[in-house]
Homo-oligomer: A and B are copies of this chain.
Amino acid sequence: MDKVLMHVGPVTIKDDILLAGVKNNVGFTSKEFVDAFSTSLKGLREITNAKSYQPFIIPGGGTSAMESITSLLKKGDNVLVVSNGVFGDRWEAILKRYQVNVEVLRPKPGYYVKPDEVKEATEKKHYKLVTFTHVETSTGVREPVGEAVKKVRNDVDITVVDGVSGMGAEEVNAEEWGVDVYISASQKALGSTPGAGLLVLSNKAVEMISDDSVAGYYLNLKNWLPVMRSMEEGKAMYFATPPVHTILQLAQAFDDVRKEGIHNRVKRHSLVSGAIRAGIESMGLRIVAKAPETYSNSVTGVELRNADPKKVMEASITEGIEFAPGVHPAFKYFRIGHMGWVTINDALITIGVLERVLKSLGEEIRLGEGLRAVQEYVENHDNHNPK
Residues of chain A whose beta carbon lies under 8 Å from any beta carbon of chain B? 1-5, 7, 9-15, 18-19, 21-30, 59-64, 67, 70, 93-94, 97-98, 185, 187, 193-195, 215-220, 238, 240-246, 315, 318-322, 324-325, 327, 341-346, 348-349, 352-353, 355-357, 359-361, 367-368, 371-376, 378-379, 385, 387
Since A10-B244, A356-B375, A372-B372 are in contact, a sample of 15 more A-B pairs with Cβ atoms closer than 8 Å, ordered by chain A residue number, is A1-B346, A5-B26, A11-B27, A21-B22, A61-B243, A62-B240, A98-B216, A193-B246, A216-B216, A243-B246, A352-B371, A359-B379, A368-B372, A368-B373, A368-B376
Contact of A349 among B64, B345, B367 (CB under 8 A): B345
Given A24-B13, A24-B14: A59 and B59 interface contact (C-beta under 8 Å):
yes
Please give, as numbers and ranges, the residues of chain B lying within 8 Å of A30 by CB-CB distance.
5, 322
Query: How long is the Cα–Cα vector from A23 to B375 in the complex, in angstroms?
Result: 29
4 closest cross-chain pairs (CB), A and B: A368-B372, A195-B243, A371-B371, A367-B375
Residue in B61, B193, B342 whose CB lies within 8 Å of A240:
B61
A379: shortest Cβ distance to chain B, in Å? 6
Q: Which residues of B contact A194 (CB under 8 A)?
A: 28, 241-245
Q: Which residues of the partner chain B approach A319 to less than 8 Å between Cβ atoms?
A: 344-345, 385
Our pick among B59, B220, B343 for the contact of A61 (Cβ within 8 Å) is B59
Task: Tell whether, in the assembled complex, residue A24 and residue B18 are in contact, meaning their CB atoms are under 8 Å apart.
Answer: yes
B18–A22 CB distance below 8 A: yes
**Beta-carbon contact of A345 and B341 below 8 Å:** no
Given contacts A60-B240, A194-B244, contact A25 B12 (CB under 8 A): yes
- Assembly stoichiometry (copies): 4
Which B residues lie within 8 Å of A70 (CB)?
216
**Given A348-B348, A352-B345, A60–B60 Cβ distance below 8 Å?**
yes
- Chain B residues, CB < 8 A from A379: 356, 359, 367
A244–chain B nearest beta-carbon distance, Å: 5
Decide if A27 touches B322 in the complex (CB within 8 Å): yes
- With contacts A67-B218, A243-B194, A367-B379 taken as known, whether A29 is within 8 angstroms of B10 at the C-beta atoms is no
Known: A218-B67, A246-B195, A346-B1. A29 touches B324 (CB 8 A): yes
Contact B98 A61 (CB under 8 A): no
A349 vs B378: C-alpha distance when bound (angstroms): 13
